[in-house]
Amino acid sequence: MEKEESVIKAIEEIASQLGEESVLVDDLDRSAYSYDASGMQAVPSAVIRPSTADDVSFVVEVANKFGIPITPRGSGTSLVGGPLPVSGGFVVDMQKMNGIIDKDEENGLVRVEAGINVRELNEIFPDRFMPINPDGAGFSTVGGLIAEDSASPLSIRYGTMGDLLYGVEVVLPNGEIILVESPGPPSRRSILNLLVGSEGTLGIFTSALLRLPRRPENRIAYKIELTDISDALILQEEIEKSGIGVSAFEVYHNYKELVEGAGTEAVAFIEISGTQECIEIWDSRLKSILGNMEFPFESMTEEKADNIWEGRKNLYEVAKVREEALKVVSLRVYPSLVRDTVQEADRTGSRLKLPVISVHNPLLGWVIVAFLYNPIDEKEVERAERAVSNVISKSISLGGSVGYGLGAGINRITQDMDEGFVSLLSIIKETLDPSWIMNPGKLIER
């Protein structure tokens, strides 16, 4: 492919400042940065690998000068195409910036570079941990988690990534490096809330101040068989009424049928955690609820609980057993609409002849729908893409929003967001990034 003159010039300028080894232009490298975990693809003109915030600032300035789009990328675990350069241009790979800058053990605060991943965060303090681990393997980077305001099964207790964020250093689209951090803990008045979940459209995060929560003293996990999707909602109500502090609650719909060929319609996983005294009381209350409702269940050891929550093995288990690929969409609806959304996903699956599994969190109203398809059957690939679009539009018409926990990503922009958000963000975007070079094609359209 012939590169435009401006791209060549920009590459030369960046290479002379950052070094040749930090600018990747050959076909193998560009192709290797053309995918993430979304199944979609977009090939960059070049990949830039900065080592410092100053490097990032320089790259942004050069890109701005030549009007070349830039897309920041962490480790490429996005399920929605967040780090894909859909308008071409440069991908900025942040993984080399993965250091720990400083830490405050007493308050559980740590300042890290944006390319550090969840596994590395988990090793910083012996008694604290990173509860947001969306890919399960701990490969996701801090920058990506902030950009998408990622969630996890533990978000009931710990919130989303934005709730752990106390400050951030960001390179604005004009190349300016700014620190958004109050002298003390942030308030809701903070501009941080604008940057969290901005999906790389307002700047590139270079470092962050995070507060990691303490690891719970004890945990118990439960696997519960539900005959119907409505059971999950009844169970959720009972749990709320009895005051049990659930730290995670996920329901896998169609799981048993897809994995074992037959069985109950849904399987629920619940976790409670806290001090020994506390979870003993909750455990006995939960068991009595489950007994009264006659739901078969088993409670699990700490180690198995880890497998479920950190490994997200149940969603992957289906792909594993059936040897098929997954196409995923993340939605958030009011709890009363969870059932309708899941049923809509089922209907879409059966109309388009694709097996479907839905994972929902009844307390958050978070629904992840995954369609299974044969990756070498082109028609099936196309049907899987159609299925995802269909579920999004149906969910929006029911009263849902797109992108909770994973980000909205590609092809889900503007028309799927509320008008007020879109118009305000557009004004901010025009001011900060008049050339729209920063991750164009995500979240909002010009």
Partner 1 sequence: MGVDFNDDLRKELGRCIGCGACNIPCPMFHIEDLRETEGARARIKLLSMLGSGNMELTEEFLSYIFTCMNCGLCSKVCPVNIDVFGAIISARSSLIDMGYVPLVTVDMREARRSTGSPIGDGLVKGVWLPPDFQPSPNAEILYFAGCWSHTVPEVALASYKLLQQISESVTTIGFDEPCCGGLIYVLGERDNAEDSKNTLIEAISKLSPKSVISGCSLCTSVFPDLGFTSFSSFIEKMLDEGKIRIRKSLKPKRNKIFLIPSCKDSKLASRILSRIKNIELLEVPEWVCCDCGATLLYSTDPDRFSRWLEKVTDIARDLEANQIVVEEPSCYSMIFKMLGKNKHKGAKIVSFPHFLLELIT
Binding stretches for partner 1 (CB under 8 A): 24, 26-29, 31-33, 35-39, 49, 75-77, 93, 95-96, 98, 115, 119, 135-139, 311-313, 316, 319-320, 323-326, 374-376
**Shortest CB 409 distance to partner 1, Å:** 13
CB-nearer residue toward partner 1: 238 or 385:
385
**Shortest CB 324 distance to partner 1, Å:** 7
Q: What are φ and ψ of residue 269, in 5° steps?
A: -120, 125
Task: Give CA separation, 52 vs 57, 95, 96, 170, in Å.
Answer: 9, 11, 9, 12
CB-nearer residue toward partner 1: 95 or 435:
95
Residues contacting 221, CB < 8 A, separation 6+: 248, 269, 270, 271, 299, 300, 304, 305, 308, 309
CB-nearer residue toward partner 1: 134 or 203:
134
How many C-beta atoms lie closer than 10 Å to residue 294's C-beta?
7
**Shortest CB 413 distance to partner 1, Å:** 21
**Shortest CB 319 distance to partner 1, Å:** 4
Sheet containing strand 23-24, edge to edge, reads 23-24, 46-48, 90-93, 70-73
3 state SS of 93: strand
- Cβ–Cβ < 8 Å for 444, 413: yes
**Shortest CB 138 distance to partner 1, Å:** 8
CB-nearer residue toward partner 1: 195 or 326:
326
CA distance 181 to 201: 20
CA distance 183 to 395: 41
**Would you tell me the crossing angle of helices 338-351 and 378-398 to the nearest 10 degrees?**
150
CB-nearer residue toward partner 1: 351 or 379:
379
CB-nearer residue toward partner 1: 79 or 232:
79
The single residue listed with the structure tokens 């699956």 is 349
CB-nearer residue toward partner 1: 27 or 419:
27
CB-nearer residue toward partner 1: 28 or 262:
28
**Shortest CB 29 distance to partner 1, Å:** 5
DSSP secondary structure, 408-446, as one string: --TT--STTS-HHHHHHHHHHHHHH-TT--BSTTSS---
Q: Where are the beta strands (DSSP E) in 123-216?
A: 165-171, 177-181, 204-211
**Shortest CB 139 distance to partner 1, Å:** 5
**Shortest CB 262 distance to partner 1, Å:** 22
